[in-house]
Amino acid sequence: MTQLINIVSHIKTSPESCYATSGRMLDSLFNIDNGYLEGLVRGFKNGILKETDYLNLVQCETLDDLKLHLQSTDYGHFLANEASPIQVSVIDDKLRDKLVAEFQHMRNHAVEPLATFLDYITYGYMIDNIVLLITGALHQRPISELMPKCHPLGTFEQIEAINVASTSSELYNAVLVDTPLADFFGECVSEQDLDELNIEIIRNTLYKAYLESFYSYCKSLGGITAEVMCEILAFEADRRAFIITLNSFGTELTNEDRKKLYPQCGKLYPDGLAALARADDAENVKQVAEFYTEYRALFEGAGSNPGEKTLEDKFFEHEVKLNVNSFLHQFHFGVFYAYLKLKEQECRNIVWIAECIAQKHRAKIDNYIHIL
């Protein structure tokens, strides 16, 4: 009898308490708050350009043909009001505007915990914007020239006052302390003046803290969201570790400093990261990757000879594959993250093709990343 009472008392009915007890929401309750948005994002995902669309796009002779073909896709008449000789930068801006509008709509309709999840996604853009503005300020560019280059998803109220900071502690105390990025700043506060090298280190440290925080948040959400997102974020962390290592050869960055920049939420932690910290050239890095099956496959076919794909391209392809696979599960937040990343990749593809057309250099026009 007492056992029965115990069982009954464990049964909770409200969605919030369903989170609290086991960290995992019943699938049937997902649609109460998030059903509309998941349906919307899946509808958007169906509008992502397919292989046939890309085949048509690479056959275009001029940018006007490209615009004509994009009219028949989900993009519709987004370029209809642009003056006739279109430039690639205009196409890029309009593609991004459409994506930002879709994301803002979803963010406006989201409630907790999806709202926090979507906010986490925007923190990455905030970091990029901050670094962009500081670098621009170092080169004496006026702030009004730099603002249009910022990513719209990563703006916050105090962003334009960034140029008042000349050291990183000032940056933190004056500007960032009220923003959500305050938590990620922990280790970077120092009295050194901001210069080129420091900026990159700050960017990578911020990003490491952000990734780890995002990872632990997804893990706390539990369920399929944790499964899907942790896989994607782990790959992102490992990819950053590899790229940082490869790019740091031949620069002033010491191995010790480099080790501090590796995000620890990936599969390479702890042994792989330790091995990477000791690596001295590309061969060593490849040897580290040998221990992990997916990464071995990625390093295998990569190279910088013409005809082979570069390592970055292979990383992009793997990321796209993980993102597309996330749509196979239902009732989780990973679809929102995956949709944003896939759409960005699509924008990069279209801009690549548009550049090849505009410069009449069609040799590598097929080097876009295939999504669907």
Partner 1 sequence: MGSLFRSEEMALCQLFLQSESAYTCVSELGELGLVQFRDLNPDVNAFQRKFVNEVRRCDEMERKLRYLEREIRKDGIPVLDTGENPEAPMPREMIDLEVKFEKLENELKEVNSNAEALKRNYLELTELKHILKKTQVFFDEREGSLESGGQTSLTQNLLPEDSKGPIQLGFVAGVILRERIPAFERMLWRACRGNVFLRQAEMDDPLEDPATGEQVYKSVFIIFFQGDQLKMRVKKICEGFRATMYPCPEAPADRREMAMGVKTRLDDLNTVLSQTQDHRHRVLVSAARNIRAWMMKVWKIKSIYHTLNMFNLDVIQNGLIAECWIPVANWEDVQLALRRGTEKSGSLPAILNRLSTLEAPPTFHRTNKFTKAFQNLIDSYGVATYREINPAPFTIITFPFLFAIMFGDVGHGIIMALFGGWMVWREKPLSAKKTDNEIWNIFFGGRYIILLMGLFSMYTGLIYNDVFSKSINLFGSSWHGAYNDSTIQQNKELTLDPADVKQYDQYPYPFGLDPMWQLSNNKINFYNSYKMKISIIFGIVHMLFGVILSVWNHKFFNKAMNIYCEFIPQIIFLTCLFVYLVLLVFHKWVWYGAGGDVSTSPSCAPSILITFINM
Binding site for partner 1 (CB under 8 A): 56, 59-61, 64-65, 68-69, 72, 80-81, 83-84, 143, 157-158, 160-165, 170, 173-175, 177-178
Q: Which is nearer to partner 1, 171 or 369 (CB)?
A: 171
CB of 163 to partner 1, least distance (A): 6
Of the candidates 146, 148, 152, which has an alpha carbon nearest to the alpha carbon of residue 132?
Answer: 146
CB of 127 to partner 1, least distance (A): 18
Q: Distance between CA atoms of 358 and 197, rounded to whole angstroms? A: 35
Q: Which is nearer to partner 1, 166 or 248 (CB)?
A: 166
Residue 155 structure tokens: 């703006």
| Main-chain phi, psi angles of 297, to 5 degrees | -60, -35
Q: Determine the length of the chain.
A: 372
Angle at 136 between CA 135 and CA 140, to 5 degrees: 120
CB of 92 to partner 1, least distance (A): 20
Q: Which is nearer to partner 1, 16 or 183 (CB)?
A: 183
Q: Which is nearer to partner 1, 170 or 313 (CB)?
A: 170
Q: Which is nearer to partner 1, 39 or 142 (CB)?
A: 142
CB of 266 to partner 1, least distance (A): 36
DSSP letter for each residue of 20-42: HHHS---GGGHHHHHHHHHHHHH
CB of 213 to partner 1, least distance (A): 23
CB of 158 to partner 1, least distance (A): 6
Of the candidates 371, 355, 348, 359, which has an alpha carbon nearest to the alpha carbon of residue 96?
Answer: 348
Q: Distance between CA atoms of 183 and 186, rounded to whole angstroms? A: 6
Contact by Cβ (8 Å): 196, 138 = yes
CB of 88 to partner 1, least distance (A): 18
CB of 61 to partner 1, least distance (A): 8
Q: Which is nearer to partner 1, 37 or 181 (CB)?
A: 181
With residue 122 as reference, give the H or E element that holds it: helix 114-138
With residue 324 as reference, give the H or E element that holds it: helix 311-326
Contact by Cβ (8 Å): 230, 217 = no
Residue 300 structure tokens: 């295998």
Q: Is 309 helix (H, G, I), strand (E, B) or coil?
A: strand
Contact by Cβ (8 Å): 248, 282 = no
Q: Which is nearer to partner 1, 67 or 341 (CB)?
A: 67
* Residues forming a β-bridge with 167: 193
DSSP letter for each residue of 174-209: IIGGGSGGGGGGGGG--SSBP-HHHHHHHHHHHHHH
Q: Is 347 exposed, middle or buried (0-12, 13-18, 19+ CB in 10 A)?
A: middle
Q: Which is nearer to partner 1, 157 or 196 (CB)?
A: 157
Q: Which is nearer to partner 1, 166 or 284 (CB)?
A: 166
Q: Which is nearer to partner 1, 70 or 276 (CB)?
A: 70
What proportions of the chain, in percent to the nearest 5, are helix, strand and coil?
70, 0, 25
CB of 167 to partner 1, least distance (A): 12
CB of 204 to partner 1, least distance (A): 25
